[in-house]
Amino acid sequence: MDSASSDAGKEDDDESSSASTTSGSEANTPKRSELDDFREQWQKELKKDQHVGSVVAPATGNVDGTNSIEQQARALFQQGSELERSGKVFEAMRLYRRATQLVPDIEFRVYDKKHAKPKTDTAEADARMVDGLMERMMKANIDEDEENLEDVDLELRFQSLMARSGKLFERASGDRKLIVTSAHFSDLPMELILYILRWVVSNDLDLKSLERFASVCRGFYLLARDSEIWRHACMRIWGVNVGVLKGTSFSSWREMYINRPRILFHGCYISRTSYLRSGENSFQDQFYRPIQLVEYYRYFRFFADGKVLMMTTADEPQHCVIRLKQRLPTQNEILRGHYRLHDDVVIVAIQRNRPSTAGQMQRPGRKARDIEPEYGQQTFLMELQIVSTAKRPFSQLHWKQYTMVQQRNNQEKTTQFELTTTKYPPLYFSRVKSYHQESEGPLK
């Protein structure tokens, strides 16, 4: 008992001594520091939040429990924002961290609640939007499931729809809630989009890529029907012979480009020729004479600027089409020339390349002389007729005339070849994807 009373006396002495020291310190410091005020306020708010959570949680269950957690996070976030405004950044960061641990997207929720419109306004706006949409659908008589679009002019239909909505295209409704750091395609001005499409078509007239672009949405469909793009494409093919649209049977430049006979540029025209040739008699057996089967290919590649490449070789197409990719090839077996369109006839003029004199030795100070080839200067003049098939238009070229003009020793000799189907079969078009993988310049 004595020991217990002595211990109690000691505790009383300690408490009295601590109370005396506290009173002495309070006397020495008449004003409390800001840190003490913040701690006291923080303790009060924590007790208040705990009290509210304990009162609400038993009555509401799991759903209200999540709401109370969100309220706590919202209160911590607001306290942190107040501290940040007063300049106490480190204390604010501590509260922000606690709030995000409770609700990771608390910042967005606070912002949405702060800038949210009244529910009555949003409901009225949604009702007006639905009524307007229904009215436009009734006026346009649109039924996406039952409407027959076989004989409908899609361009006029989409133009009427865009005129009623007021926008060519817009971003999806789900993308509006996302935070993006780059501009959407619909934010670009119309002139810039059309200039991008000119790069898509390019100088090589890759209209196939433009048609793929048109199949994305209604707005892209209307952009791909821009009359200026198709007019420049027609002028690049037919030049001064394109004529005026009003004086033709075509209703648009696109219809002229599709239906008027023309050359295809995204591949090669290829023909295969084979014939039998008698060999020499064997010196051992005079009655034995071999027969040889000769097979070779003829390739034509046309460019939109009026240039053409021709190559005759025994190599198969999968090994040769890559050689015709460049406009100015270095191989001597590839002949370069020009062509012109006259109605449905292609007139081609090709000149054989002269051998290069770069590797020959020349004396310094003397002008290099043009060495005439052994076979002379040769020029090939051809006329090919454009023929369409049921599967693909303008996919064949049939021979009409083939002439060779040879100049040697100031003498000109003209040779006209006999065009038979065995020696000069029709040329069939074959698409080559690698020809239009890159764009060298916009359509002009």
| Mean pLDDT, 10 residues at a time, the chain of 444 residues | 44 44 44 74 72 44 63 88 86 87 82 62 58 53 52 66 65 60 76 90 88 86 88 89 83 89 91 83 69 88 90 88 86 88 91 58 56 69 91 91 86 87 90 82 84
Whether 309 is covered by a domain: the verdict is yes
Whether 129 is covered by a domain: the verdict is no
Considering the domain architecture, whether residues 342 and 237 belong to the same structural domain is answered as no
- Beta-carbon contacts of 120 under 8 Å, excluding residues fewer than 6 positions away, are none
Whether 39 is covered by a domain: the verdict is no
DSSP state of 268: E
Whether 35 is covered by a domain: the verdict is no
To which residue do tokens 């071999």 refer? 290
- Give the total residue count for the chain: 444
Supply the pLDDT for residue 402: 92
CA-based nearest residue to 376, from 400, 404, 399: 404
For residues 119 and 83, give the distance between their C-alpha atoms in angstroms, rounded to a whole number: 31
Considering the domain architecture, whether residues 224 and 337 belong to the same structural domain is answered as no
Radius of gyration of the chain (CA): 43
Considering the domain architecture, whether residues 289 and 202 belong to the same structural domain is answered as no
Considering the domain architecture, whether residues 241 and 285 belong to the same structural domain is answered as no
Among 93, 111, 129, the domain-final residue is 111
Tell me the β-bridge partners of 276: 293
Considering the domain architecture, whether residues 216 and 239 belong to the same structural domain is answered as yes
Whether 209 is covered by a domain: the verdict is yes
The number of folded domains in the chain is 3
Considering the domain architecture, whether residues 291 and 321 belong to the same structural domain is answered as yes
Considering the domain architecture, whether residues 273 and 406 belong to the same structural domain is answered as yes
Whether 81 is covered by a domain: the verdict is yes
Whether 420 is covered by a domain: the verdict is yes
Considering the domain architecture, whether residues 249 and 315 belong to the same structural domain is answered as no
Among 259, 290, 313, the domain-final residue is 259
Whether 198 is covered by a domain: the verdict is yes
Positive or negative, the CA dihedral 305, 311, 317, 319 is: negative
Supply the pLDDT for residue 19: 40
Considering the domain architecture, whether residues 99 and 216 belong to the same structural domain is answered as no
Q: Which strand (E) or helix (H) includes residue 430?
A: strand 427-431
As a whole number of Å, the end-to-end CA separation of the chain is 111
Could you tell me the two tokens for 279?
């060999």
What is the pTM (predicted TM-score) of this model?
0.58
Supply the pLDDT for residue 375: 59
Considering the domain architecture, whether residues 312 and 340 belong to the same structural domain is answered as yes
Among 55, 85, 111, the domain-final residue is 111
DSSP state of 366: S
By residue range, what is the domain housing residue 401? 267-354+375-431
Tell me the β-bridge partners of 269: 300, 429
Considering the domain architecture, whether residues 93 and 224 belong to the same structural domain is answered as no
Considering the domain architecture, whether residues 298 and 328 belong to the same structural domain is answered as yes
